[in-house]
Structure 1
Amino acid sequence: MGSSKKLTLKSLKAGRPPMAKSTRSMSRKASRALINSHHQLQKRRRQAVARGDKVEEALIDKELAKLGGLDHYQQASLQGQSQDRGGDTSKVLLEWLPVAALRSLGRRPRMLEVGALSSRNACSTSGLFEVVHIDLNSQEPEILQQDFMERPLPRDSTDKFDIISLSLVLNYVPDAAGRGQMLRRTLSFLEKSEASSNPSTASFFPSLFVVLPRSCVDNSRYFTEARLEEIMGALGYFKVRDKMTQKLAYSLWRREDVAPKAGVGFPKKELNPGKTRNNFVITLGGSGKG
């Protein structure tokens, strides 16, 4: 992990749209349409960036601005996470964790929530965790405006966490290698595995909670659930729980007390041919780079 400090890590800002203020409320149908349009434009923007097409990139930025930019997108996402719509992904994590055992620990496990839209989701209001919320464009005073890829590496255990949440974050990283870098970088911020007097909690921590759009793992030419498990295994993660809904793929990964596998890489490779499939992929370099 020592070499990670020398890496030139890409900022997540490259995958986020320009910001514009908006205070309009949205219906469920309108918020879903905005999110879908936004994702399509972001896909075209990433392709333009990859080609070095500055003209196309600027045109897409204008289209994104017309949609309301990042603030409006986050407003739509918050609409989807409202309690009456059952969209709070942290509810699934809370269902998986041994709540009674956590209450008897005598301390609150530390959680880092990357890409936080709200400081009032299920995990944050449960009283079980000491939560640090970060996002590129903070919507609340309780959320630190910060890019995870630029967050200073921990100096000691006081800067580390028992669990990290990447809920609908990886799919927003602008390129495949950057997604691999993000997954690798989580290792630096997690506490190491240690024996616990309570086996109920020891089997869950330290861990990484990942939520992706379902289409990323079951309708991509280059990515599958099996490939995600291979990548996570190479990093030293073991899958504790997973769940697939109509729209989302949830998974919880425990960090094992092993070093990441050296020399094991996962390049972009076609796994599921098909014209109707998308191009989502996570790549992982075998040299310690994403």
Structure 2
Amino acid sequence: MTIKKKSRVTSLAAGRPPTARKPKSISRKATKALINTHHVLEKKKAQAIAKGDRAAEIAIESEIDALGGIEKYQLASLQGQRLDRGGDSSHILMEWLNSMDSTISSSAGAHLKMLEVGALSTKNACSASGFFDVERIDLNSQSDGILQQDFMKRPLPKDDSERFDIISLSLVLNFVPDAMGRGAMLLRTLDFLKQPDTQYSSGLRTFFPSLFMVLPAPCVTNSRYMNESHLETIMNALGYVKAQSKITHKLVYHLWVRKSGVQCPPATFKKTELRPGHSRNNFAVVLSGSSG
């Protein structure tokens, strides 16, 4: 009887369980289809929960699980960030900030703090820039450098030392399944950003404190309930002013600088049709007057 020699582990990856191994690449078409389907199912799930339809909720959860759950969705999102597919969205922010590189570098002890919500990687353009101390969170962390946390349940800052100079919501707001929840998320960013009267240098004051937000372009360009002007009106009511923007056929990028407090009395924005048409999507943001 021969005794088989125990195979020697030649790398850390080889010694990890199969779920930790590098996943296979997903085609561009499959990536888009998976992300879109996941968004639709999450929206239907939220509607079922709102109606108290537990049977429908369970059925939709089964469909999501059959697709691979949040893990497969995140894999598709990571594939979408590959350089041969346009790279990660934060490189646009860095293009805007590079114009003030000398200002940031000369601000001794500035230690600009970024909160990246929905982080998928610790190696994106913002992380590699050296401009920021980055804190990363995500509902389902895929990396040791990303804290598994729900932004909407994150403990509120005790003082300014726990607040941030910039928050990144890159392809996050569109993942919130209902309009009211999106409004609540935008309101909540104000709790975690430094106040607009924070003592920045004149150069830094141009872009900080701020919110970097990225959405699929159709959320703004082809929605029944949203367009660029309406989005800006909502953000202005929250005390944000648009500093930079860019629209491509796939994505819309905005840098919103916090310049004032929330309008008083707080503004209310309902789901109002702005562009009729059967080909429109239903992306919307609802704000029910709230102080913050």
Task: Give the TM-score normalised by the residue count of structure 1.
Answer: 0.87
Contact 2:266 / 2:290 at 8 angstroms: preserved in 1?
yes
> Which residue in the other structure is 1:199 paired with?
202
Q: CA deviation at 1:28?
A: 2.4
Instruction: Tell me what 2:133 maps to.
Output: 130
Residue 275 (1) aligns with residue 271 (2): no
Provide the aligned length of Structure 1 versus Structure 2.
269
Q: How does 1:18-167 map to 2 (within 5 A)?
A: 23-97=23-97, 98-106=100-108, 107-167=110-170
What residue number does 1:8 align with?
Answer: none
Alpha-carbon contact 1:110-1:130 (below 8 Å) kept: yes
In structure 2, runs of 5+ residues without a counterpart are 1-18
How far did residue 275 of structure 1 move? 1.4
Partner of 1:264: 267
Q: Match for residue 7 of structure 1?
A: none
Partner of 2:215: 212
What is residue 15 of structure 1 aligned with on the other side?
A: none
Q: CA shift at 1:39, angstroms?
A: 2.1
Matched residues in 1 for 2:28 and 2:228: separation?
A: 29
Deviation digits for residues 169-210 of structure 1 (CA, Å, limit 9, x no counterpart): 111112211111111111111112247674322110000011
Contact 2:39 2:177 in 1 (8 A): no
- The answer to whether the 8 A contact 1:167-1:211 is kept is yes
Superimposed CA distance per residue, residues 104-124 of structure 1 (whole angstroms, 9 cap, x where no aligned partner) = 212331000001011110001
CA 1:258–1:60: 2 relative to 1, 3 Å: closer
Taking the aligned partners of 1:245 and 1:140, their CA distance within structure 2 comes to 29
Task: Indicate conservation of the 8 Å contact 1:102/1:108, yes or no.
Answer: no
Looking at both structures, which has the greater relative contact order when contacts are Cα pairs under 8 Å and sequence separation is at least 6? Answer: 1
Give identity over the alignment, percent. 55
CA distance in 2, matches of 1:197, 1:173: 32
State whether structure 2 residue 245 is matched by structure 1 residue 242: yes
Distance in 2 (alpha carbons) for counterparts of 1:42 and 1:263: 30
Which secondary structure state, in structure 1, belongs to the residue aligned with residue 130 of structure 2?
Answer: coil
1:41 is matched by which residue type in structure 2?
Answer: L
Partners of 1:288 and 1:159 in 2: CA distance: 21
One-letter code aligned to 2:105 = R
Deviation by residue 1:230-275 (Cα, 9 ceiling, x = unmatched): 1111111111011111111110111013443324210111111111
Higher Rg? 2
Amino acid at match of 2:72: H
Q: Kindly tell me: are residues 143 and 204 of structure 1, through their superposed partners in 2, closer, same or farther at Cα, counting changes over 3 Å?
A: same
SS in 2 for 1:174: coil
Please give the alpha-carbon distance, in whole angstroms, between the structure 2 residues aligned to 1:260 and 1:174.
26
Task: Assess if the C-alpha contact under 8 Å between 1:235 and 1:261 holds in 2.
Answer: no
1:229 and 2:229 correspond: no
**Paired letter, 2:55:** V
**What RMSD in Å do the two structures reach over aligned CA positions?**
1.8
Q: What does 1:164-183 align with in structure 2 at a 5 Å threshold?
A: 164-183=167-186
Runs of 5+ in structure 1 lacking a partner? Answer: 1-20
What's the secondary structure of 1:199's corresponding residue?
coil
Q: How many angstroms apart in 1 are the aligned matches of 2:53 and 2:262?
A: 40
Instruction: Say which is worse superposed, 207-216 or 186-195, in terms of deviation.
Output: 186-195
Could you tell me whether the CA contact under 8 Å between 1:114 and 1:165 is conserved in 2? yes
Give me the whole-angstrom Cα distance separating, in 2, the residues matched to 1:100 and 1:238: 24
